[in-house]
Chains A and B, each alone.
Chain A
Amino acid sequence: MEFLRQKINALNSDNKIYNEKRRMTRWFTSLLMTLFRLALIVGISYVILGPIIGIAVSSFFSTEDRYSPIVYIVPMAPTLERYTVAFRLLDYWNVLRNMLVYVVTLSAIQVVVCSMVGYGFARFQFPLKKILFACVIIIIVIPTHSIMLPLYMTFRNFDPLWIFSLTGGGPTNLLSTLTPMYLMTIFGVGLRSGLYIYIFNQFFRGLPKEIEEAAFVDGAGTFYTFVRVMIPNAMPSILTVTIFSLVWQYNDLFYANLFNIPNDWILPKKLNSLQATLAGVPYRITDPAISTLYVYAGIMLMILPMILIYVFLQRKFIEGVERSGIVG
């Protein structure tokens, strides 16, 4: 009896030591993991944020700061002059307003058109559906850059189905206007439309069919069902597509250059010409070290609206992507 009790006690204490050891190892591993993760996240965040911080602070540098060897990151004589000049040269409020109108309307059209097309592919059976959906994949895979020349020609002598020629007007030149971008977006081949169609298609396919059937039984028409039943359910996708298209359209320079859209509508184009304007008559700032400071101020002004939107929508956006059907 005594012997047995001793044996049990010994076993128990062995177990205790063993458990203690395991707990220590586990604690140590998790500590290491946390440290590793922390180092990684801080490091990568620095790589991402570093240049933005650099731009932000150097946009406040005065000329002396720029040339002073002891100034690093924190300016000694901060000035707002870069911003006032950049503001004036960019014609900031006007161009920003124009740009926002342009970008927001285009994104709205993208959402409407792409959700419709995506719904059509997701829920209806019609002849050639497979081939047509392959076309969606084609416009995702073939970059627009490969067909930029024909697009340019098409809009320079715009004459769809010879309508203008027949009515006696002759082909119209649509370049230098906003029309080409709107036309392409309305017809579902705008900036990255293929991707949005794909996202909506995946999402609608994932929704249960019963929702629609219930609406049909209650006597709703197809279009009514789409607007009142499917769209409210598709909020995560709509949010994702809206934000992506806002951001990409805002940052897009390719189409803006290709269709030669006037600078007053496109902030990035205005920004690109900033340095050249500075070298011109009233300012005569030709020193690249100084004129880049003005460009930095311009960049801050350009990314500020996007950052604001992002800060407000960030959480919803990431949750939205997670449920939006990109994943399939």
Chain B
Amino acid sequence: MTDAKKRKGLTLMQRRAVTGLLFVSPFIFGFLVFYVRSLWMTLEFAFSETSTEGLGYSLSFVGLDNFVNAFTQHPRFNQVLVDSIGSMVIDVPLIIFFSLFIAIILNQKFKGRTVARAIFFLPVLLNAPAVFQALETARAFMIGGASAAPSGLVDSLAGSASGVNIGYYIDMLREMGMPMAILDYIIGAVTRINYVITMSGVQIIIFLASLQAISPALYEVAKIEGATPYETFWKITFPMVSPLLVTNMVYTVLDSFVNSRVLQESYDAMFGTAQDYSLSAAFSLISMVCVCGILGIASWLVSKRVYYHN
């Protein structure tokens, strides 16, 4: 026994640690080579001026110039950034609540449940950029205007071919004294319904899975004690799925960020006519900081209400 120990030279714990590191090693290597190095390069690019020479490039440090340029000189970046963040702020809560609502409905027992589930997860399959664009035009062809309107545009909504004058209802609500901010949100929500539905596939799956994991005993107890469905939802269902609010929020924010126009700007700056690597890197960094900020604030807000069962 002692011989064996000496030959190996390691205790069991150390041997386990080495095996564990072996299992994790591909990731460590990949992270260092592709991520750490790339993040460092992005920082380098963003803080300096690049000039390309053949296949290589040279850098000269210019401080914050690129960031100042991005905000003050670039024709669109300001607007695109504010737009993207604005629509993210509208979309994310909508998608989360919508997917929770749908998950609760799909979790009930009714005829045709499997078919309904299959249909609701279809958008996960069809969420390809190439298909997406074509679907938008096809949707316009099918529905005839209303939902094909670009998001948030009241005028195009009002003049839709569906025959319903939405502008009239909007005016009516405004005259009833509804605050414009809330009205804007509602209009946004209505115009985005397509987007919200197609974006919430994965979130519905996740919520559904967590609903399935709730022990039926809890509901039984609540029923025997005479709780109303409303109380059951707030005292059992919601706390039990709340840890996944954070997961879903992270997923939704990232998803809507990946589809946002900020990244398109960054991509264009790099591969477009300008080939301005520094500007592109600055765009990337700014948007990354914004996303991390949003994620941080949002998870802080949500995590106060999260209940951890174990």
B277 & A268 in contact (Cβ 8 Å cutoff): no
Interface of A, secondary structure class, is: helix
Which of A49, A121, A299, A318 interacts with B205 by CB under 8 Å? A318
Shortest beta-carbon distance, B123 to chain A, in Å?
A: 6
B212 & A37 in contact (Cβ 8 Å cutoff): no
B291 in the interface (beta carbon within 8 A) = yes
Complex-state Cα separation, A137 to B34, whole angstroms: 15
By beta carbon, the residue of chain A nearest B40 is: A150
By beta carbon, the residue of chain B nearest A187 is: B30
A145 in the interface (beta carbon within 8 A) = yes
Complex-state Cα separation, A292 to B137, whole angstroms: 9
B interface with A by C-beta (< 8 Å): 13, 16-24, 26-31, 33-35, 37-39, 41-42, 45, 55-57, 102, 105, 108, 110, 114, 116-131, 134-135, 137-139, 141-143, 193-194, 197-198, 205-206, 208-210, 212-213, 243-244, 247, 250, 254, 257-258, 263, 266-267, 270, 277, 280-281, 284-285, 287-288, 291-292, 295
By beta carbon, the residue of chain A nearest B34 is: A189
By beta carbon, the residue of chain A nearest B112 is: A41
Instruction: Give chain B residues whose Cβ lies under 8 Å from the Cβ of A232.
Output: none
What are 26 A-B contacts defined by CB distance under 8 Å?
Answer: A37-B108, A50-B143, A113-B27, A116-B23, A123-B20, A126-B21, A135-B28, A141-B291, A143-B263, A147-B35, A147-B284, A149-B41, A150-B37, A150-B45, A154-B37, A173-B55, A187-B30, A189-B34, A251-B130, A292-B134, A295-B134, A302-B128, A302-B131, A303-B125, A327-B213, A327-B244
B110 & A34 in contact (Cβ 8 Å cutoff): yes
Stretch at the interface among A76-84, A95-103, A307-315: A307-315
Instruction: Give chain B residues whose Cβ lies under 8 Å from the Cβ of A126.
Output: 16-18, 20-21, 24
Which of A125, A189, A250, A295 interacts with B16 by CB under 8 Å? A125
A54 & B141 in contact (Cβ 8 Å cutoff): yes
Instruction: Give chain B residues whose Cβ lies under 8 Å from the Cβ of A50.
Output: 139, 142-143
Instruction: Give chain B residues whose Cβ lies under 8 Å from the Cβ of A292.
Output: 134, 137
Complex-state Cα separation, A40 to B136, whole angstroms: 22
Complex-state Cα separation, A140 to B285, whole angstroms: 16
Given contacts A141-B295, A147-B39, A247-B125, contact A315 B114 (CB under 8 A): yes
Complex-state Cα separation, A37 to B117, whole angstroms: 13
A117 & B27 in contact (Cβ 8 Å cutoff): yes
Complex-state Cα separation, A151 to B121, whole angstroms: 32
A187 & B206 in contact (Cβ 8 Å cutoff): no
Instruction: Give chain A residues whose Cβ lies under 8 Å from the Cβ of B126.
Output: 52, 251, 303, 306
Instruction: Give chain A residues whose Cβ lies under 8 Å from the Cβ of B116.
Output: 41, 45
B131 & A251 in contact (Cβ 8 Å cutoff): yes
Complex-state Cα separation, A247 to B130, whole angstroms: 14
Complex-state Cα separation, A156 to B28, whole angstroms: 22
Given contacts A37-B108, A189-B31, A321-B205, contact A120 B24 (CB under 8 A): yes
Q: 13 new A-B pairs (CB below 8 Å) besides A37-B105, A226-B23?
A: A44-B102, A48-B123, A119-B23, A126-B16, A148-B267, A150-B42, A151-B38, A188-B31, A251-B127, A306-B125, A314-B114, A318-B205, A323-B209
B34 & A148 in contact (Cβ 8 Å cutoff): no
A interface with B by C-beta (< 8 Å): 34, 37, 40-41, 44-45, 47-55, 58, 113, 116-117, 119-121, 123-127, 129, 132, 135-136, 138-143, 145-154, 156-157, 160, 173, 184, 186-189, 193, 197, 222, 226, 247, 250-254, 268-269, 271-272, 292, 295-296, 299, 302-303, 306-307, 310-311, 314-315, 318, 321-324, 326-328
Complex-state Cα separation, A110 to B117, whole angstroms: 26
9 tightest Cβ-Cβ pairs between the two chains A and B? A124-B20, A187-B30, A120-B23, A251-B128, A150-B38, A188-B27, A150-B41, A147-B38, A120-B24
By beta carbon, the residue of chain A nearest B205 is: A321
Shortest beta-carbon distance, B215 to chain A, in Å?
A: 13
Shortest beta-carbon distance, A272 to chain B, in Å?
A: 6
B138 & A321 in contact (Cβ 8 Å cutoff): no
Complex-state Cα separation, A124 to B19, whole angstroms: 8
Complex-state Cα separation, A127 to B194, whole angstroms: 48
Shortest beta-carbon distance, A293 to chain B, in Å?
A: 11
Instruction: Give chain B residues whose Cβ lies under 8 Å from the Cβ of A324.
Output: 209
By beta carbon, the residue of chain B nearest A147 is: B38
Instruction: Give chain B residues whose Cβ lies under 8 Å from the Cβ of A48.
Output: 119-120, 122-123, 197-198
